[in-house]
Structure 1
Amino acid sequence: MKQQPLSLSSLMVLLVSGVAAITVLISTLVYTTLYANALRSNAAASSEQSVAQAAGAISDYTSDASTLIRRITGELQSEADDLTLAETFSTMVQMRDDLTSIGVYTSSGRLLSCWTSGRTRKPQAGSLDLTGVEPDPSGLYYTPPHVQNLYADYYPWVVTIARPAALDRYGGEVFVSMDLQFSSIAAYMDAVGIGQHGYSFIIDSDGRLVYHPQQQLIYSGLKTEDTAPLAALGDGVHADQDLIRVIKSLPQGGWRIVGVSYLDELVRQPQQTALQMLLFAVPIALFILLGVALLIARLVSRPILRLVGEMRDFETAAPDFVYTPVSGTREICVLSDSFEHMVGRIQKLVDEVKSEEETLRKTELKALQAQINPHFLYNTLDSIQWMCELGRTQDAVKMVSALARLFRISTSRGEDLIPIRKELEHAECYLIIQKFRYKDQFSYRFDVDESLLDCLCSKITLQPILENAILHGFGEFVEDGEITVSVRPDGTDILMTVTDNGVGMEQSQCRAILSHDRSGPGGIGIKNVSDRIRIYFGAPYGLSIQSEPDQGTRVIIRLPQSGGNAHENP
């Protein structure tokens, strides 16, 4: 007796025990996650508060410095003599430990005057470089920290604050500057405590480092601090998996305070507690989960994946596909049997459609061959009779020869595709006959790339287009008509064009021609020509028409460059 495969309902019973254990595990994880998120929020708030305190202190310091430089500017704009100014500024430098020098520079950065605490200055020393420095909203320039190269034996780390001013005593626009020791600002930053290992630093508006507590290690290449992405971040708290970054902009100098704290140290202890709880549940849950996964893989996943693979193989190669039934649960076996039945039905339908398409193609071609305008044949024979009666036997011979070649190529030994050289010969025969009939009312020429002559095209492609050009393009044309047939490569395609200088037509007429089944009474439809090309070569190929009234018409036929195995002598 054949054993019944396991049903999905039985499988679900086996999965319940695993789901129960997983539910307990998920509940525990959710609790610990929520608790960790609460700790993250507290840590972010604490970091934000610490950065706000540091920003407030530095903002007060820079505000005081901006007040001082405005006072210095005011002294320089007063009528005090140079000796009084020297005494005033020297006293300022001596009274403030963080103020190392006061200077006046030209707009190009050349030092004009300098007041210090009495230290020996280097000869020709001192310049002001504000390249890349933008003024803050109050018009003050804050340079990045740099080594002051003004004294012979003293090299402090300073920030230069400069202010443009118009001073009569210097003959116009100058920069008033003062150098402040950066150690004062660094003291505020070093006092900020964010956890055990957190720290804060200063960047400018472009993300360049202004101050870092480990600045020497960064400059020596022993530590890195990627500050460029911080320039695009707004003020506030920015957290990722490892760090909390708090950014706050200062109103002066375009500086931004960045506080960095490590989530690891802020949530480690609660996570360790949660981990101890999970250590009891996780092994059991993992064991159950492993068993459930093995069952699913064996009883559901593998058969379904096999069935999906069979479907993909059938999708890519339906006609030659051989289906191998998939085993598994009862439901999967039902799906497999249904798919096998569907494959058989589809393959049968595909075979029927192919057979019908082949029959339709042959019938269509025979119909196309039979659709050659009988009036064209009658008129041609009348023209031959008329030439014979008038003794124009040479013209009659040419006309009969052209007509014979026209019908011989039309049959083409039953071939649907013929070389382009034969299609052009067929077109030339048709034009010879029509030129006799219309008493040289038009002329024609061929412009052909001979390397394409052996490529294949569907037969009777050009004749309906030429018929349309003669009957409709030159029907009421009073001037001499001209038809040009061109065959040229276009990448991997071939463009066959038929151009006439006839009466032309509107775009609506062009669309109508491509939608009608016939080009004239009894003629072969231009739409049929386009449809046949698409049947043989695919959707990208076919006909298009370009025309304007009184400007002539151009019909473009796009074909692939396909090699020829058709008979050369139909």
Structure 2
Amino acid sequence: MMAIRPSFHHKMALIFLLCLLVLIGLSSAITYWKFNEIMRRQVLNDLNQIMAQNKMNLDNLINGLDKATLLLYTDHTIMNILNRRTDDYMQIYDDIGQLNDELTKYMFIPLHSSLSAYTITFFVSPDMPFAKELYSGKDFFYGFYNGIDAMQMPWHRQAVEADGRLIWFTDPAKPGQLYLARLIKNPEALSLRNIRMGKEMIQNVGVVVIGFQTTELGKPLEASKLSPSTELMIVDSQGAPVYSLNPHPPAFPAAMMQAQPSDTVTLEGAAYLVNRSPLAFGWQLLAFIPLDDIAGGSTIVRYIVGISALTALCAGIVLSFLISSQITAPIRKLARTMKTIMYTDRLNVYLEPPKGNDEVGILYQSFNNMMTRIRKLVEDVYESGVRLKEAELRALQAQINPHFLYNTLDSVNWLALESGVDEIVEINSSLSSMYRYIMKDANEMVTLDDELQQIRHYVNIQSICYPDRFEVYYDLPPELLDVRCPKLIFQPLIENAIVHGIEKSSGKGRIDIRGRIEEHTAVLTITDNGAGCSIEDLNAFLEGKHNTLQVSQGYGIRNVNRRIQLQFGDVYGLHYEPGETRGIAAIIRIPAGTPCDSAYGQP
């Protein structure tokens, strides 16, 4: 049974429908997510404002306590009374009354606007002269007491170690009570004049302790709950609750002390939005808002989004079939035409493009252009087949020419031998070797050893043409002879040295071919003692600049330089320098290869 394949029309409608489903799903999800994000942002904004206000209220309370205790440093009346000793009971009674009046002035009156109920106890250091006139004790009441008993308490030692900084502590025997303590130091002992005079004075006057209910901290928090389920609390640096509106607050993990100021956490199985603000003493002000309270208003939004998505889906199904039918009509026509071409091999086909310059119209035009090119390519393939056969015939003919030249040179060689002309025999032999070397693949890389062998043949020919006019010396280390290089890089340079240098000078000429290795680079030098020429013109010609250098002199060296750079890169190549005494030096740089065992010595 033949399977039914869906048509392009149905596929297009299905694609439209799928795209519509994706768009509806994404838009619905984004709308719902955006609404929740707006609600969350609004809640966070309100929460941040409430937290900022609560933090400011708590900071003002703690700063008020801090400033009130600092005022005791500046009270000379208190310091004078505590620093003197008297045996007059009436004077002692009056002094104690005056101390309590000063305490009321500096402490009770400033704190009355911040705290509704509190205690202030000043535990005077036993070293102070007036301390023996005071009652001793370690409980917290009101007034001045001898601190001899309180010195044994941990909170007293902490206050002394804090050296004038405000500390806090709790009393396990009095739950719900919070205490703040500060060491009061003698301002006279801190005077620079007394320090310079070396006057010994009592440093610590005593410790003042302010006690109040933790509910005093919660007064500014009680009216700032965003929802009935909002949890507000103050915890210490270890995460232990200092104050909470909830008598049974959720357990607070210590790891949250390093968390982000606003984050989502799960506590005791419930998800909360948490906001925290740092306070004094390492405390943290925390707010826990259940996420269910935030998401409670999103139910109606889910309903509206769902109805809108369903309506859009129904409309999209109808539109998908209508639009896909309109789009695929010209494409179905093109498919039928291509099927006709496949079965009939008709190439003279032309489709009238639909109206408009859209993608379908471009597809029709491309189809017409393609059919035109196919017809042209068929014609070109036929003509290229004819030209290929002609090229094969010319190649076979060209293969005959080298053999003809080899045979001709061989005939000249035998004729010279029979005639006893040894110079012609020697020239012909060297010329044949060079011809075979040249006729190899032009792109083939050769060794310096092969290149020097051909130079010997060339020098042999030139020595016969210019008898006793020059000598050639070779000085190359063995490790250079296996270095690979392009073919015929020496011959044009030797030719220029003979024709343009030695031939134009008087006396016997000398050509030195030397080589060395410098940092993985083979440096080859061809030096002559001829008439020489402008080094600047030679190097400028190699760089492609126009100058007075003759083309016949410069064509070969430019060819050598270009072939080396094409093979190895622009960092290598040919350049010229002045000779040691006279003449010029052609210097070739190519990458160094693997050393071998053969060597060249003196001629």
TM-score calculated relative to the size of structure 1: 0.45
Q: Which has the higher contact order (CA 8 A, sep 6+)?
A: 1
Report which of the two structures shows the higher radius of gyration computed on alpha carbons. Answer: 2
